[in-house]
Structure 1
Amino acid sequence: MLSPDKLNRINELANKSKTIGLSTEEAKEQTKLRKEYLETFRSSMRDTIENVKVLDPEGNDVTPEKVKDARNSKYLN
């Protein structure tokens, strides 16, 4: 998870961008922070999906093989 300070800074830069615009340094900072945010989000989402187990109404495991393979490869490494 991204720190609250970084999230606040992302929002500050977004608001400034919409109102008065950003300097080149601020635009670079915004790009860097957005990239870091997306990497963190994707990692978190990947971890969540890899730990999901899907069951049908009868209680059979119907988790997609792709998810099972990702989970297994994560624990083998």
Structure 2
Amino acid sequence: MLPVLRRADGESEGGRGLLLVQRLAERLGSYRAAGGKVVWAVRSPGPTPLPRRRNAARPPAGAAARPDVTATFLRRVLVGLEAEW
């Protein structure tokens, strides 16, 4: 089955991947291939990243990531993308 762009509500756990790829890529497509499918995207290089500060604080080795911050950030990104869609 080839990917299909679909609208996911705020509670859905899936259905956003193709929307994200569409927003980040210049072109994308898919086609059937022997044994499955091929999904491709072309993205131009983004702006040059800023250099890291030499004295940037790093979390201690083995420190747990903060999934609440990550989930909140991703939710804001998706809301912004869906508003444009």
- TM-score under structure 1 length normalisation: 0.31
Q: Which structure shows the bigger proportion of residues in helix conformation?
A: 1
Q: Which structure shows the bigger proportion of residues in strand conformation?
A: 2
- TM-score under structure 2 length normalisation: 0.28
Is the radius of gyration larger for structure 1 or structure 2?
1
